[in-house]
Structure 1
């Protein structure tokens, strides 16, 4: 039942990266059926207990990344998939948010179905996407099918999601339109002093050294052309850290080879705080563009490298925000298309306060359902996808029926100091391989 004065609503979030933890925790607060709430706070001041679980893997966030996200939790611990399933069997929650990649969501849905098969009550299970969905639409959606709610961050996404599910004759009733949970902040009212240009970098877009160097050089050139402006390169992670995507060529390393002007700086921190002082947001295809548009900050999606699916900027066709550095240097300022913006869940019209009402109402009804909720029913089963599903489950040490495989890691307590040292060393070796060895091997292969 929804939270009351005597019984707090118990909410769990399982995330596999810093950005997904941010999305999952803020979403949980937004959709908890006690009220709308504000980012980072419990819904409408309701008595909610939020337990966070971080799935152990290459992108498990560091303490610095978690601190930068700034979302509070009553408890937070790192787990394997099997450890998480054990916790879900032993603990009782009202709401569970799966903030994972598609394969992780699918594995957890099958594992949860298995461990809850003899329980009369289970939590409402929710999943969705961190931001813009511009690739692997069908694959990602079908891997998320089976959750009670599959959240769509915009009207356009909701329509696309339902079309995919209906196209394979899967139940589309779980698709629920909301908005990105981290939108907010004061609307842009005019230029700051100094005028500030921010480039929102992405870990994996673009991928090549040539393209990333090009973008960095153009940003530095813009700073030199406009010494009266402050030009900021907003970075997602520090070298050695991983976020949702792997970053082989960090801009920090590329910038070390350049003579940077005094009005150019690299910055980290909360995106909302950076937008507080932004006069022009520039990106290739980052979700930061939607945050900026929500606040009516002048926003540019670059076309310098083409408008391509691989870059994700094709999603912004029709937005009115597409432009090149040459156009920006010449003084061009795009005007966003209001109809396009309205379909993207940006809610710059002030409707954001009600964007999560439908999800809260649906969760309230599910929690109040007599006799509890039915078993989870993912679209993928050993019958519908016998050549695909077992491999997805095995990556999380689960068998075809969702049962943990023999020898699956499932510690009963926190790892000792030796195990922690070994784990850190292994992660360091992995990241060194991704950021240093892999690019060298790739270049050798191109000779």
Structure 2
């Protein structure tokens, strides 16, 4: 894709994300979309909410994009109105994507020279397939991470009579890193914030991981964690592994790890997980990867996504030295096998859209006619069900913004800190 628009100006790209993992996906997708060396101007925004990442989490993303600024949905719409962008990447949960699409559609009710709207999924799409896809319908490009996903996405859109032309095959933008050379031996368990949910299941996985460390004292066993206590990612973690492991007295070869997943994979000889997207990163490098069946192969766990991969196994087998071998056909179909340029189609389509003198208004599948009982609640959560507020200036605006920031801070503290404590006390 050209690094400049037809007018000769550098491409201006806006990325709007709502969590650390989606910021990582959005920022890296923007880089892959416009080209790493294109000189494009990429600006990041964080949609305020319960999962707004900390500075430490943003630093770990290592996307080479400047730190994003926090905005509300209505503030972002206003920024797009006043500051023209060529491409907007919506790295958000489905409901937020839908709300932003409707908000942006109000800016261009008729064909116009407007930004190309891009959205997609951060990782493994194993639940709420129809719901999530229909909430993303209306973007110019809905990125699919594999041939398998692209086929499923088109089937959903065509099944409801919606245009499936936006579905564009790409890849997870963070796949990469050095191929596995067989020298590293550490077993790394990639934890997930909400899978599994039950305390007993999480405690079981920890016991088995610590037990594996005791059985293999010469092997490093690493518990790779997504966030520190008090931080949040895409999902709220109410039972952090850091707290559960305190009572197990792990041996010296067991340790916790944070930081960039790619750096941890550089030292990994066997990755184990329930269903983390880290499994795809590991498989892409050729690292032996174990998707655990100890808690069953169940849709709520997400490990059913790996059926046919050759990776499904148990701690009993890992304790005995088993190293799963992935099926090459499954890897290719699920977008994990290395490809020369998986973003070529994305760049080509964006370039073609940018070259048009006008684009039609965004047209989400959900409207007041197709989702009368569903859409209003989605828009209301982002204050996009109201008429645009009057523009305030001077002291009134300062006071209003200060009150809103205080209210948001109190809400976030309640959701992230107080509510989990109350729920844990209720379980006693």
2:27 to 25, 28, 37: 25
- Select between 388-397 and 3-12 the one with higher mean Cα deviation: 3-12
> What's 2:377 paired with?
391
Whole-angstrom CA distance in 2 between matches of 1:55 and 1:412:
20
2:266 to 265, 276, 279: 276
Whole-angstrom CA distance in 2 between matches of 1:127 and 1:216:
36
Consecutive unaligned residues in structure 1, runs of 5 or more: 33-42
Whole-angstrom CA distance in 2 between matches of 1:396 and 1:76:
19
Q: SS at the partner of 1:387? A: coil
Cα distance change of structure 1 residues 252 and 404 upon mapping to structure 2, 3 Å threshold = farther
Paired residues, what number?
A: 423
Shift of 1:415: 9.0
Deviations 1:78-110 (A, max 9, x none): 001111110011111000000000000000000
Within the alignment, does 1:437 sit opposite 2:427 as a pair? no
Within 5 Å, which residues of 2 pair with 1:257-268?
Answer: 257-268=247-258
Deviations 1:59-91 (A, max 9, x none): 011100000111232462100111111001111
Contact map agreement 2:147 2:333 (CA 8 A) in 1: yes
Shift of 1:433: 3.0
Shift of 1:146: 0.4
Contact map agreement 2:145 2:169 (CA 8 A) in 1: yes
Given the two structures, how large is their TM-score scaled by the length of structure 2? 0.94
Given the two structures, how large is their TM-score scaled by the length of structure 1? 0.90
Q: SS at the partner of 1:199? A: strand
> What's 1:379 paired with?
365
Shift of 1:163: 0.3
Deviations 1:96-152 (A, max 9, x none): 000000000000000000023368311000000000000000000000000000000
Whole-angstrom CA distance in 2 between matches of 1:413 and 1:357:
46
Deviations 1:2-50 (A, max 9, x none): 4239521100000000000000010011112xxxxxxxxxx24111111
Cα distance change of structure 1 residues 293 and 221 upon mapping to structure 2, 3 Å threshold = same
> What's 1:331 paired with?
321
Consecutive unaligned residues in structure 2, runs of 5 or more: none
Shift of 1:414: 11
Shift of 1:354: 1.3
Cα distance change of structure 1 residues 84 and 332 upon mapping to structure 2, 3 Å threshold = same
Q: SS at the partner of 2:247? A: coil
2:212 to 222, 225, 231: 222
Shift of 1:221: 0.4
Within 5 Å, which residues of 2 pair with 1:20-419?
Answer: 20-32=22-34, 43-74=35-66, 76-117=68-109, 120-192=112-184, 195-348=185-338, 351=339, 353-369=340-356, 371-399=357-385, 403-404=387-388
Q: SS at the partner of 1:216? A: helix
Within the alignment, does 1:3 sit opposite 2:40 as a pair? no
> What's 1:13 paired with?
15
Whole-angstrom CA distance in 2 between matches of 1:435 and 1:328:
34
Contact map agreement 1:129 1:152 (CA 8 A) in 2: yes
Contact map agreement 2:110 2:361 (CA 8 A) in 1: no
CA RMSD across the alignment: 2.2
Cα distance change of structure 1 residues 110 and 340 upon mapping to structure 2, 3 Å threshold = same
Contact map agreement 1:19 1:243 (CA 8 A) in 2: yes
Whole-angstrom CA distance in 2 between matches of 1:388 and 1:417:
32
Contact map agreement 2:328 2:337 (CA 8 A) in 1: no
Deviations 1:180-217 (A, max 9, x none): 0000001001122xx21100000000000000000011
Whole-angstrom CA distance in 2 between matches of 1:187 and 1:417:
50
Contact map agreement 1:397 1:405 (CA 8 A) in 2: no
Contact map agreement 2:196 2:202 (CA 8 A) in 1: yes
Cα distance change of structure 1 residues 186 and 304 upon mapping to structure 2, 3 Å threshold = same
